[in-house]
Structure 1
């Protein structure tokens, strides 16, 4: 920002009539700055048409007038006071440019072009007024310090506007994520998606993972990925709703999550992602693995755990022929039968899994055939036995 001493120097070498002549030239100078900016900064070639063009031209005029006010106010008690309107105007200009979608680089380029044009014009007037080289250098220093101050204020306005817009955008997406998590109806979800400028994908997959890992993972995913925070899940876990994570994309997602204790739910139509949320949560509760768990790889386990009472009844029926045996014997025979059914009677493989001799397997199967009889040849009964013997023991009724 220009110093009090530097403006005193300029005020001392320019007469009041000289300053007034410069002030009279402001409209012409502002128009010339606008033409130079339009010609040299591509982003502004269309910006100076209509009402927006008049607003920006007025901002240029205000900036130039503010500089002359600064110079003519030398000796005032507070040298920052004359700059305040210009600084405030530059801040509002920066906010407006952000709202219009123009990058801050274009705005800074416009300041540079405008400053160069204004200095060329001002310096010609100074030379005509007989100002010496030292004073000219002082004038240039004050002017470019002033432009730097305006530029900084515009950058601050631009940054603040983007930050506020980003916060608003993120809050709207958070509301959409919470509604999806809650299973809201389609009409409500459509309204929230439109309000958040969120383009719905074909499907969404729910990913449960620790809160501390969520932001890192999210940055590597589709930009439409939504985040459901702990305040909504009611735990130290968050849920990421990942677009179109099926096929090849699902395999990539699994790889990205390989270092995290995450659970991936199935891909479902985006408005029905609550199904994916629930299934992933059930998989997490079952403890199906220590690393990343893909629900699509554990459908049988999830099916058996879906109705504990039903699978408990299946298990009870499957173990019924062993009820009169000592518990340890019943357990050995039940596991032998389960593996025999799963391995389609391949005795050597069953023995290897059980760490026993194949003859032991043969002896046990003789016992089991006596106990189960026709059940071991009836396809429907065999299906019930496989499901019942595979059901978690905790689901069996006492």
Structure 2
């Protein structure tokens, strides 16, 4: 019998040792159907130890470590593969033929010590190989996930290739998805805790299909199906934007690092290019919120659509602010108080009493400032014909951070 022929046996046993084959088979059953090929030459090592006291060589232990890596690559759990080895050792010792005929306690004790040494070193080496392989698999999966997310957010990759790459992650690109971005207050030294927290809550609510959580340029990225989110009948979009953002922020706010977090969610769009479009909306929303000095924890892209329109033609917006609002700089105290009054006046539905309450001033002060605005600018905040121009100019000034910053030339 050649060495290669002996290794072909799933239990690593010699053909004349049929009982070892049965030991391997029953150990595999005990471990929940783990392939007995993962035992390799383990039973032969136990036999040599029991009969001659020989300890495993380095090369033999390396082969056991390779079997641990192979088990991880096959998706066998660590607990099951360790149970396979322990069950095989227990059944091996119980069925060991020459011990049944031995009456020498020293012989039995020496055999037990040698066998336990093999079990100890083999299982430790097996577990070490398993851990190394799992670590490599996680790193490889993380790299593939990050590359997939980058290509999905860029939106210019090969569609067929992306569909094939997305399938192992459970992502159906035919569904309607939306992208959420979470920005920490400062760069995190380690994002693993934040990713784990998000995965825990999102997978619990939405399941692990059609959801990807990753990082990109210092931001946490979540790609989620819009139709899997809970419905909020108070919002026109079914609440998917606000609900996803609130869910993410509530979980991230529990973390010790990164607070205060700010979350922006793009609108739902269908198909592959819809993911890239939703991402651009979320990224632009975060950038706009920073320009506006908005401290809202969850940013709804619907609320910032007007700023997207204004910012796309910045020269026209600068002209509007300069023509309509810069005359307010001649007021005592500058344009700031008058501009703040206008902003709250429009935000309160043009109700002077509500604007006064928000500003913590009297109603008389609000009406006086509105009169000053009409006198200095020539536009009347209470006149429907001037209201739109003034409101657009106020929004433009906020986007340009005027008067805190000078207008671009």
- Common fold, TM-score beyond 0.5? yes
Aligned length: 350
Mean Cα deviation higher: 156-165 or 371-380: 371-380
Offset at residue 111 of structure 1 (A): 1.6
* Alignment correspondent of 1:206: 181
1:256 to 229, 240, 251: 251
Offset at residue 346 of structure 1 (A): 4.2
* Alignment correspondent of 1:149: 121
Other structure's SS at 2:57 match: helix
Structure 1, residues 188-228: CA drift from partner, whole Å, max 9, x if none? 64354347665657222122333336332211113644333
Mean Cα deviation higher: 177-186 or 364-373: 364-373
Q: 1:272 to 1:135 in 2, by over 3 A?
A: same
* Alignment correspondent of 2:3: none
1-structure distance, mates of 2:369, 2:290: 35
Question: Which residues of 2 match residues 294-373 of structure 1 at below 5 A?
Answer: 294-296=299-301, 298-299=303-304, 302-303=307-308, 304-305=310-311, 307-319=313-325, 322=327, 326-328=330-332, 331=335, 343=348, 346-349=351-354, 358=363
2-structure distance, mates of 1:374, 1:327: 15
Structure 1, residues 271-325: CA drift from partner, whole Å, max 9, x if none? 43431353144135315244635244852674455543232222233248x58x9
2-structure distance, mates of 1:69, 1:396: 86
Preserved CA contact (<8 Å) 2:166 2:172: yes
Q: 1:284 to 1:182 in 2, by over 3 A?
A: farther
Offset at residue 146 of structure 1 (A): 0.9
2-structure distance, mates of 1:34, 1:370: 96
2:21 to 27, 31, 34: 31
* Alignment correspondent of 1:40: 30
Q: 1:36 to 1:305 in 2, by over 3 A?
A: same
1:132 to 104, 110, 118: 104
Preserved CA contact (<8 Å) 2:180 2:245: no
Q: 1:190 to 1:276 in 2, by over 3 A?
A: farther
Q: 1:157 to 1:369 in 2, by over 3 A?
A: closer
| Unaligned ranges ≥5, structure 1 | 1-22, 48-52
Structure whose CA Rg is larger: 1
* Alignment correspondent of 2:148: 176
Preserved CA contact (<8 Å) 1:186 1:271: no
* Alignment correspondent of 2:387: 382
* Alignment correspondent of 1:3: none
Preserved CA contact (<8 Å) 1:206 1:273: no
Q: 1:86 to 1:329 in 2, by over 3 A?
A: closer
Structure 1, residues 340-374: CA drift from partner, whole Å, max 9, x if none? 55556644455556666655655665666677779
Offset at residue 33 of structure 1 (A): 0.9
Q: CA RMSD in A?
A: 3.8
Offset at residue 136 of structure 1 (A): 0.8
Other structure's SS at 1:43 match: coil
1-structure distance, mates of 2:28, 2:292: 64
1-structure distance, mates of 2:166, 2:276: 10
Other structure's SS at 2:17 match: helix
Higher helix share: 1
* Alignment correspondent of 1:227: 214
* Alignment correspondent of 2:193: 216
* Alignment correspondent of 1:240: 221
Mean Cα deviation higher: 260-269 or 112-121: 260-269
Other structure's SS at 2:214 match: strand
* Alignment correspondent of 2:166: 193
Q: 1:127 to 1:191 in 2, by over 3 A?
A: closer
* Alignment correspondent of 1:158: 130
* Alignment correspondent of 1:282: 287
Mean Cα deviation higher: 144-153 or 32-41: 32-41
2-structure distance, mates of 1:159, 1:296: 44
Offset at residue 168 of structure 1 (A): 0.7
| Unaligned ranges ≥5, structure 2 | 1-12, 204-210, 226-239, 269-273
2:62 to 81, 88, 93: 88
Offset at residue 169 of structure 1 (A): 0.6
Other structure's SS at 1:42 match: coil
